[in-house]
Amino acid sequence: MRRRVEPFTVVSVVGVTLFAVACLIPFWMILAGSLTSESKLSISGYSFFPKPFSLDAYETIFTGPAVLSAYRTSAFITIVGTAISLAATSGIAWVIARRLPYISKPLAIFTYIPMLFTGGLVPLYLLVTQYLKLQNNLFAVILPLLVAPFLVFIQVSFFRQLPEEILESARVDGASELRIFFQIGLPLSKPILAVIGLFYAVTYWNEWFHALLFISEPDKYPLQLLLQNLISSVTNAATLPQSTAQAAPVYQIRLALTAVTIGPILLAYPFAQRYFVKGLTLGATKG
Amino acid sequence: MAASPSTTAPGPEPSVRAPEPVAERHPQPARAKQRRTRNRAGKRPQVALLILAVPAVAFFVVFAYLPMAGLVVAFKDFDVNLGIFGSPWSGLANFRYFFSSGDAPRILVNTLFLNVLFLGATLLAGITLAVMLNEVRHKLFKRTVQSVIFFPYFVSPIVISIILQVLLAGVGGSGGAANDLLKVFSLPEVSWYTEPGPWPWILTIVKVWQLGGYLSIIFLAAITSIPEEVYEAGMMDGASRAQMALRITVPLLRPTAAVLLVLGIGRIFYGDFGTIYAIVGDNGTLFPTTDVIDTYVFRSLRQLGDFGTTAAIGLFQSVVGFVLVVAAVLVQRRYAKETSVL
């Protein structure tokens, strides 16, 4: 029996389509704008079609040293940060998940408290600048974000779903607890490692707040901070009278740099998206 | 997942629960169970295993618990040379300074008002999108739409700020896509970046754009767990799709929404620093409607270098936030028991 198409269904399809289009338009405007000649952008500020077409901005970006070095910095923060985060998160999650008497429960509470209460900005700032002396060190960006309690608990709930029989049989065969973790626990947890790694990677890639606080040398700027500086400088340029003759295509560069910043996420997205959905639903239903 | 430690997404937060016996999930012969329990009680946990927890524990001690202790700076007349613990005590002077400064009412009202607005709008958007997505039968189309509306969640606040400038500012503070659209309807242009009035609504739209798809996925997961029979019963009684959505789906989503709402209320005292600061920055003309605790703290720290007062505000925020979060978690647990969602 074929179902009659009801008005509500039609409204729904139109509704979600409109929302999806609203989600896409800004990205299209950035891409189109980054390929539009500055002569048009400096009049309207935006463009829907790359006409007149121009690659000036990308040329400027990729021939100058600043963007490439920022790309390297961001890549370093993302890769090193994600690797350390994954290791630290899996480690503590495994110990909590094993339900060791006198250890797992206190450790879980120890991990949970920072979700409820934080020292806030000032003590962190003093800690990093006065005591650890990490100014202009990329680890000042990585370390404050190293372990997210929320992701620890997602991982704990995954570890607890692993079939106890497999671990037990390894134990009977005389494998040490560490060996069980590395040779059985981790290999069985690849899906959740992917989810958690992706969450960390996106966080590190998008990170700019700690960079803003702790990195002041321009040659150590990550991509996001470089972009943020461009926001303020173009804003400043925009509020000034037009006497500041613009040699470089500033509007176009700004959009091109934005496109370049989103690029890696966009490329990884089709692959990553199903994992994100999986991780979210796991977190939402299992807690 | 965005920039700052205080970024709030009314997302799921796990709760620590009392360990349930594993056997509940993996029923197995009684003898095997017995052996395991005996094993566990008899053998002491291998110390080597604890090494796995060391890096994370070290992280929490240094970056979570030390800063908590460092909050005493709120009661100190901080001197960089003397350090946090060497500086002289100043009692409540830092708090007095903040609450008598005249900024306090504005930023408190802004923080609460904006967060209520964000929370209400994003939840409503999430539910609406989920209910609508649930109507879409075409698999590929549905998946594509889901992917697209989820994407803004992964975009950094800086990128969002650039997008807003393209839409609102155009060139030299006038023009921009939004104003050109207004012109089509022969409405007057607005100089967005010098006009504080519309910003709470602009930021709300930004939040809906950012989180609508993300929340719709959580709600859609809740919808899929609604048993099919409920809808079959509805169909038997001749309910239309709209009636089924409004009378069955939406009421059954209420527990999930309640949990998210409660968690959101728990975090209501934390502004969304990343998004707001990236968009507004140091643009003072917009402060009357957009300045929240987090941006205020950040600015005082950067511009005045006044550690004592800033820490006092931070402590005030943490304490009120803590009370709210704990209250929220307690309420959430009651709900969680009833609904088994979240």
Q: Which residue has the higher pLDDT, B188 or B156?
A: B156
pLDDT of residue B102 exceeding 90, the answer is no
Q: A226 vs A45, A135, A208, A255, CA distance in Å?
A: 20, 17, 9, 13
Quick one: average pLDDT of B160-186? Answer: 81
Say if A28 falls within a structural domain: no
8 Å CB contact of A280 and B36: no
- pLDDT of residue B315 exceeding 90, the answer is no
Q: Which among B10, B12, B3 is positioned nearest to B275, based on CA atoms? A: B3
In a domain, A164, yes or no: yes
User: Across all residues in chain B, what is the average pLDDT?
Assistant: 79
Domain for residue A130, yes or no? Answer: yes
Is the CB of A112 less than 8 angstroms away from the CB of B16? Answer: yes
The whole-number average pLDDT for the span A96-112 is 89
For residue B176, which residues of chain A lie inside 8 Å, CB to CB?
45-46
pLDDT value, residue B156 = 92
Question: Which amino acid is present at B25?
Answer: R
Residue B76: strand pairing partners: B89
Binary contact (B158, A208; C-beta < 8 A): yes
Q: Tell me if A29 is assigned to some domain.
A: no
Summarize pLDDT for A222-274 with one digit per residue, the tens: 999 888 887 766 544 444 333 344 456 778 888 888 999 998 888 888 877 77
Q: With beta carbons under 8 A apart, name residues in chain A contacting B157.
A: 206, 208
B12 and A280 within 8 Å at the Cβ level: the answer is: yes
**Look-up of token digits 């620093």:** B273
pLDDT band at A110; cut points 50, 70, 90? very high
What mean pLDDT is predicted for residues B282-306? 83
Nearest CA in chain B to A31: B163
Name the residue in chain A with its Cα closest to that of B56: A88
Note whether residue B50 is domain-resident. Answer: no
Residue B93 lies in a domain: no
Pairs across A and B, CB distance < 8 A: 356
Q: What is the pLDDT of residue A94?
A: 93
As beta bridge partners, residue A36 has: A53
What tokens appear for A26 in the block? Answer: 């800004």
φ and ψ of B76, to 5 deg: -120, 155
B197 domain-assigned:
yes
Q: Which domain holds residue A207?
A: 59-285
More confident residue, B1 or B335: B335
With beta carbons under 8 A apart, name residues in chain B contacting A119: 64, 66-71, 314, 318
Q: Decide if A51 is inside a domain.
A: no
Task: Determine, for residues A6 and B240 on separate chains, whether the beta-carbon distance falls below 8 Å.
Answer: yes
Q: Enter the ipTM.
A: 0.85
Q: Which tens digits make up the pLDDT trace of B15-72?
A: 444 444 444 444 444 444 444 444 444 455 567 888 999 999 999 999 999 998 888 8
Mean pLDDT of B188-204: 87
Write the pLDDT tens digit of every residue in A276-285.
Answer: 776 666 654 4
Residue B52 lies in a domain: no
Looking at residues A156-175, what average pLDDT do you find? Answer: 87
B70: in domain: no
**Over the stretch B3-20, which tens digit does the pLDDT of each residue have?**
333 333 444 444 444 444
Has residue B51 been placed in a domain?
no
Angstrom distance (rounded) from CA A197 to CA A148: 11
Q: What is the mean pLDDT of residues B111-131?
A: 93
**Cβ distance of A208 and B19 shorter than 8 Å:** no
pLDDT on residue A224: 92
CATH code, domain with B147: 1.10.3720.10
Q: What is the CATH number of the domain that holds A97?
A: 1.10.3720.10
For residue B142, tell me if it sits in a domain: yes
- Structural domain span for residue B295: 104-339
From chain A, pick out residues whose CB is under 8 angstroms from the CB of B6.
118, 120
Distance from CA of B10 to the nearest CA of A (A): 12
Q: What is the DSSP letter of A19?
A: H
Q: Based on the structure, what is the number of domains in chain B?
A: 1
Average pLDDT of the residues in B105-115? 89
Inter-chain contact A6–B242, Cβ cutoff 8 Å?
yes
Number of domains in chain A: 1
What residues in B contact A13, CB-CB < 8 Å?
Answer: 132, 135-136
All residues of chain B having their beta carbon less than 8 Å from the beta carbon of residue A107 are: 53, 57
Chain A residue whose CA is closest to B48:
A178
**Averaged confidence pLDDT in chain A:** 84
Nearest neighbour of B221 by CB, restricted to A30, A270, A285: A285
> In angstroms, what separates the C-alpha of B117 from chain A's closest C-alpha?
19
- Under the banding of pLDDT at 50, 70 and 90, the label for residue A78 is very high
**Which of A118, A206, A281 faces B2 most closely, judged by CB atoms?**
A206
Greater pLDDT, B17 or A81: A81
Residue with tokens 């994003």: B122
Lowest mean pLDDT among A141-150, B5-14, B324-333: B5-14
Per DSSP, A132 falls in state S
| Nearest chain A alpha carbon to B41 | A101
Taking the Cβ of residue B135 and every Cβ of chain A, the question of whether any pair is shorter than 8 Å is answered with yes
Q: Please give the residue of chain B at the shortest CA–CA distance from A127.
A: B67
From CA A164, how far away is CA B303, in angstroms rounded?
Answer: 56
Q: Which of A217-226, A232-241, B165-174 is predicted most confidently?
A: A217-226
Asked if residue B161 is part of any domain, the answer here is yes
